[in-house]
A and B are shown apart, each in its own frame.
Chain A
Amino acid sequence: MPLRKPPLRNHHDERGATFTEFGGWDMPVEFDSIKEEHLSVRDSVGIFDVSHMGEIEVSGPDAEQLMQRLTTNDVTQLSAGDSQYSMITDEDGNIIDDTVVYRLPDDDEADYLFIPNAGHGEQMHDRWKQFRNEWELDAEIRNATDDYAMYAVQGPDAADAVGEATEESVTDLSKFEAMYATVAGVRCWIARTGYTGEDGFELICPWDDAETVWDAFDCQPCGLGSRDTLRTEMGFLLSGQDFNHENDPRNPYEAKVSFTVKLDTEFVGRDALERAKEEGVEETFVGFQLIDRGVPRHGYDITNTDDTIIGTVTSGTMSPTLSEPIGLGYVPTDYADPGTVIRVMVRGRSKKAKIESTPFLNDK
C-alpha cells in the first residue's frame, strides 16, 4: 500500500528533511539533526508536522454518551474548549489507543473531536460507528483525518511564537484548553497541548491551508526523531511500541496512565479495569538508565542480575538532554522501584542499568 503523504511532504523535502514510514504515513524524521531539533525544543521552540495523527469528529444528541462509553476518562468534565488525555480500551481493559478528546464550542458543527494515533483513524471511526449502532445512539461520526493538517509548536518560547502568529490572544489558554484563532488568515483550532514535556500548542488547520500556517512560524522545524527522544525523556507512551494491542496488550494500570481512568463512569473495559485496580498488576511500565556504555533500543531483553529475562525494552535512546542512555519498558512490579539494578541485553551483551523515576528530567 502506498504511503500517505502529509500535505507538506514536498515542502519538507525541499527543506532537506529525511523521511520515515510511520503509521502508514511518509513523515519527516529529521530536518537538520535530531539532537539540534531536540535541544531547540528544550531551550527555545520548535515546530513539528504531526499531520499523520487522526482526527475523528463526533456530533449529535448522544455524542457525549458515545464518547463517555468509548474512552476511559470522564468527558462530562469537559466544557467547550477543554480537552483531556484519555485511553480507548477493549473489553479486557487493554489499551487499543491513546488519544486527546476536545470538546468543541457549542456553535460548532461537531461536538467532539478526538485524535487517534497515526494509522488508527479508520479503526477508531469503525469502532465508534459499530458501538453507536449496537447501543442505538443518535450520533454522527466523521473521519476527518484527510481534512486537516496538524502541527505542534513546543518549547519554553512556544507561547511567544504562537502569540505572535495569531490574531486573537491564545497565550491565556491554560494547559489542555483550546480555542479557534486565526493564523495568517487561516482559522485554526489551537490547544495548549503537546507531547514533549514543554509548554506548547497544537494547531489543527484545513489541509489546503497547511503551507500558509506552517510558514507563519519562523522556528526550528523538527521531525519525528526528536519528537521520539523528547517524549521518551518524559516517559510518555508511544502507540505501537509502549503499548501494542496486537502483540503486547497492556492496561492503563500497567502503563502508568491510571489518571486517565475514571471508574465512576461507564465505558468499555471498565469492569476489567476495576478488577485490575483491586487485584493490582504483575508488571508495570518503568524508566531505566543504562549504567554501562551502550544504547538501549526497542525489542532488547531486560534481565535481572541472574540473567533471567524479566521484560522487554519498549523504547530507548541516548537522551540528548542528559547525554545518558535511557529506556522504557515493562518489568515485574518487584523490580519497579527506582534504584533497582537490572540488566539490558544490548546486542548480545549484558549491560548494567538501574530503574529511574520518570520523567527522566527532574524539572519537568
Chain B
Amino acid sequence: MSFEVPENCNYLESHEWVSVTDGTATIGISDFAQDELGDVVFVELPSEGDELAQGDEFGVVESIKAVSDLYSPVSGTVTDINDELESTPELVNEDPFGDGWMLEVEVDDESELDDLLSADEYRDQIE
C-alpha cells in the first residue's frame, strides 16, 4: 500500500507533518498515521494563544481502536485550530494533508525544520 507523502512537508518520526508558509506552520498527522489509527473519532487540540516548544505534546487523536499523543514539530504560538474536527473528526481520515489539518502555529525559528524528516526520509521510515 502506498501512502501520500507530500514533498512540501516535513515530518516527525511520530507521524506529524508540518508545512510552513510565510512564518505560519500548518500541522496535522500523515496519511500513514491516519491509516494505522483507523476511524478517527476524537481529536483534542490546544487553545489559540498556547505556546508550544518543538516536541511538546499538543493534543490527542483517538480512533475507535487506539489513542495517540500528538507532538509539535516546531516551536511557536498557536494561532488557529481546526474547529471542524470537533464535529467531523473523520476529516483526518479523509484528507489528512488538507481538510484534516489540526493547527496553525506562528513559528519562532524556521531553522527547526532542519531537525525534521524530509519527505524522502519519512517515506523510508514508513515503507
Contacts and interface: CB of A to CB of B under 8 A. Distances in A.
Interface size class of B (residues with CB under 8 A): 10 to 19
Interface stretch (B7-15, B18-26, B35-43, B95-103): B35-43
A293 B38 contact: no
A35 interface: yes
| Among A30, A295, A347: residue with most chain B CB under 10 A | A295
B60 A225 contact: no
A294 B42 contact: yes
Instruction: Name the residue among B60, B62, B86 with the largest chain A CB count within 10 angstroms.
Output: B62
A293 B89 CA distance: 12
Contacts of B39: 33-35, 320
A293 B44 contact: yes
Contacts of A30: 38, 65
Interface string B50-90: 00000000001010110100000000000000000010000
Contacts of B60: 347
Contact of B62 (A29, A225, A229, A318): A318
The CB with the most chain A CB atoms within 10 A, among B41, B42, B60, is that of B41
Contact of A29 (B41, B42, B65): B65
Interface residues of A, number: 16
Nearest to B65: A225
A320 B67 contact: no
| Chain A at the B interface: SS class | mixed
A34 B65 CA distance: 8
Nearest to A20: B65
A295 B63 CA distance: 9
B64 A229 contact: yes
A295 B42 contact: yes
A304 B41 CA distance: 26
B41 A318 contact: yes
B82 to A, nearest CB: 15
Which of B38, B39, B44, B60: most chain A Cβ within 10 A? B39
Interface in A314-364: 317-318, 320, 325, 347
13 contacts: A29-B65, A30-B65, A34-B38, A34-B39, A35-B64, A225-B64, A293-B42, A294-B42, A294-B44, A295-B41, A297-B67, A318-B42, A318-B64
Interface of B: 38-39, 41-42, 44, 60, 62, 64-65, 67, 86
**Which 4 A-B residue pairs are closest in the complex by CB-CB distance?**
A318-B41, A35-B39, A34-B64, A295-B62
Given A34-B65, A295-B67, A318-B41, 18 more contacts: A29-B65, A30-B38, A33-B39, A34-B39, A35-B39, A35-B64, A225-B65, A293-B44, A293-B86, A294-B42, A295-B62, A297-B67, A318-B62, A320-B39, A320-B64, A325-B42, A347-B60, A347-B67
